[in-house]
Amino acid sequence: MLQITSSIKSTIERALVEDLGHGDITTDSLIPSDIRGLATVLAKATGVIAGLDVALEVFHQVDPSLETRVFMADGSDVTLGDVVAEVEGSIASILKGERVALNFLQRLSGIATATSMYVRAVAGTRARIVDTRKTVPGLRELEKYAVRVGGGHNHRYNLADGILIKDNHIAALRAQELGMEDIIRRARENAPHTLRIEVEVETVDEAREAMEARADTILLDNMSTEKMRQAVTLVQGRCLLEASGGINLETVRAVAETGVDLISVGALTHSVSALDISLDMK
């Protein structure tokens, strides 16, 4: 169950301000505020549901008198026609919250659904599916929650959450004639001791450098599966190995079978398809 934090409440408030503006002219012109009704939230495709508490919070912010009931928990598998939830009360209030509630629910369910497909694809291997920071601005907390609902794991939440020395960091420091050992030593000296150090590499030789410099995790960026296997053999469990770069559902199994520990997939959040979910008035 998702805890509706103050930041999530603020995100919902901004979404409602964006959508309602100065009011729902159509509904206000047609539907008297005292007419009551019942609306059902229906799955119209197969997938994994996520974001129910967010959707219900939308309706509660629009009108605290609305009554909501859920029939499934986040993480449940849904198929066409499944009734996910109900909203009862002022029809005008329900209509005003409909679009924003569905926007959250459809997107988060889409992320959970995509993540579950990747997780199933690597089942039986040691690899974990992890997300990235390629999230919609302002929605990271919710989108990373949806990844967890789908069975995946979270990478860094933000730039303060861990040290990831990427290619541009390395290029800038190599221009100052610093080697990999110097770069990692500088990170250890200047960052909190509790943070792990991850280094992005593009070749097996760079992976060797990073390993010998005692990186905690090595990110294998855009490597072939053969090069990944070589890196796994080289490292022999002395640090974690993460695969990243252009990995999709067709290739993720082969990547997992190389023996890497983590597979990061930006597509879980940056280009996911929303799960088709509707709200129907009774």
CA-CA-CA-CA torsion for 86, 143, 141, 103, nearest 10 degrees? -40
Residue from 166, 186, 214, 238 carrying the catalytic annotation: 166
**Is 166 designated active site?**
yes
Do 32 and 95 contact (CB within 8 A), yes or no? Answer: no
Give the span between the Cα atoms of 269 and 228, in whole angstroms: 24
Residue from 9, 36, 44, 134 carrying the catalytic annotation: 134
**Is 134 designated active site?**
yes
- Which ranges of the chain would DSSP assign to H, the alpha helix? 6-20, 25-30, 52-62, 91-121, 140-149, 167-174, 180-190, 204-212, 225-235, 252-256, 267-270
Residue from 24, 82, 221, 242 carrying the catalytic annotation: 221
Least Cα distance to 58 among 20, 26, 25 occurs for 20
Residue from 99, 133, 185, 208 carrying the catalytic annotation: 99
**Is 99 designated active site?**
yes
Do 108 and 51 contact (CB within 8 A), yes or no? Answer: yes
Give the span between the Cα atoms of 39 and 42, in whole angstroms: 10
Active site members: 99, 134, 166, 200, 221
